Amino acid sequence: MTTKPRILYTKPSITELEVAYATDAAANGWGDRCYEYIERFEAAFRMHLGVQYAIATSSCTGALHMGMAALGIGPGDEVILADTNWIATASPIVHLGATPVFVDILPDTWCLDPALVEAAITPRTKAIVAVHLYGNLCEMDQLLDIGRRHGVPVIEDAAEAIGSIYHGKRAGSMGAFGAFSFHGTKTLTTGEGGMFVTNDAELYERVLTLSNHGRARGQRKQFWPDMVGFKYKMSNIQAAIGCAQMERIDTLSKRKRDILLDYKLRLDKLKGVSMNPDSPAKVSGAWMPTIVFDMKTNITREILKSEFARNGIDARVFFWPLSSLQMFQAVPQNANAWSIPTRSVNLPSYHDLTSDDLDQVSEVILQLHRRYVL
């Protein structure tokens, strides 16, 4: 008797192209070629995103940390962000000595509520971080307008939003700077890694200096730092994998969107159920298809996790509200951020999912819906 293989919630898409490039970097990417794949990766990413500058980093968290430091964020400052986020968005704020200010999310996109952002601005506000959650898009026009009127830069945390497009502009290309993640779970991966992007030449130079232990690009003295910087550089081997992934980016992004659309065909019309929003004007990169049940259905996160586990399927929980964590002060009035995670899960969405896999995942939800709702 054979058992069905477990359906994972995510894994990367790696082909012989990635293996070949990584092998070449490992065998030959030293000496004069030690930055070759890094420079190729940065150039390909700049072109794809339509930005002027890009710096490959060891993580998205590192890109955020350096970008915020370059903006001068420090002790006494406040940075506004959604209460629904992974802690990687908040940790650089804390490391810089600033205070994260958590506001509630919109009920449909699960991203920052612009009205609450504006209400939260004080004389201490130094930045707004717009996180494009699960590939969903923030209301960038409104946030950028708020930023302009108050003299506050808007940072795009596009860690999860490769492939997302807002009114013709790619996620990460609109704010003071953008930051991307290439963790092994992401649509485009280098195993671990990230990218800092901007169209601001001065900001780029500051971050470039910070990224290399504070050594300025024009400094002629060898091993002479001009400031105390960071070490958030990506390796050549990681960048080699990234170069191969960039050659496949359209295919990788399309497959993610196809999976979301396939789920929507099966599930989106169910009563009391919502999924990632998507439209021609706001194209979701569909990194993590997510299903949210209305409170009146009485279908909870625990019920969903239990049913998926019983059927050999991994389900990933919706991010806990950051203000519910012990290191922060609770903000339970952020009702959406506190409620939505209790009745939702992220669905499996790796590139190699088959139609049978999608049917199997969807059937669990359909059965629960018949049991609790119909």
Which amino acid, 124?
Answer: R
Residue 1 has pLDDT above 60, yes or no: no
Helix (H, G, I), strand (E, B) or coil at 60: helix
Lowest mean pLDDT among 186-195, 222-231, 355-364: 222-231
Domain residue limits, the chain: 16-247, 249-372
Q: How far apart are CA 138 and CA 165, in angstroms?
A: 11
3-state percent helix, strand, coil for the chain, nearest multiple of 5? 40, 15, 40
Q: In CATH, what class is 16-247?
A: alpha beta
Provide the pLDDT for residue 117. 98
Q: What is the pLDDT of residues 288-333, one digit of tens each?
A: 999 999 999 999 999 999 999 999 999 899 999 999 999 999 999 9
**What confidence category does residue 373 fall into, taking pLDDT thresholds of 50, 70 and 90?**
confident
DSSP 116-173: HHHHH--TTEEEEEEE-GGG----HHHHHHHHHHHT--EEEE-TT-TT-EETTEETTS
Q: How far apart are CA 260 and CA 222, in angstroms?
A: 51
Q: What is the mean pLDDT of residues 23-29?
A: 97
Closest to 85 measured CA to CA, from 152, 151, 155 = 155
Higher per-residue confidence, 269 vs 23: 23
Q: What is the pLDDT of residues 259-269, one digit of tens each?
A: 999 999 999 88
Token digits of residue 339: 């409620």
Residue 372 has pLDDT above 70, yes or no: yes
Q: How far apart are CA 177 and CA 362, in angstroms?
A: 38
- Percent pLDDT > 90 in the chain is 95
DSSP 2-43: --PPPB-S------HHHHHHHHHHHHH-SGGGTTHHHHHHHH
User: What is the pTM for the complete model shown?
Assistant: 0.96
Q: What is the mean pLDDT of residues 100-106?
A: 98
Provide the pLDDT for residue 2. 47
Q: Are 66 and 57 in contact (CB under 8 A)?
A: yes
Question: For the domain 249-372, what is the CATH superfamily, name and number?
Answer: Aspartate Aminotransferase, domain 1 (3.90.1150.10)
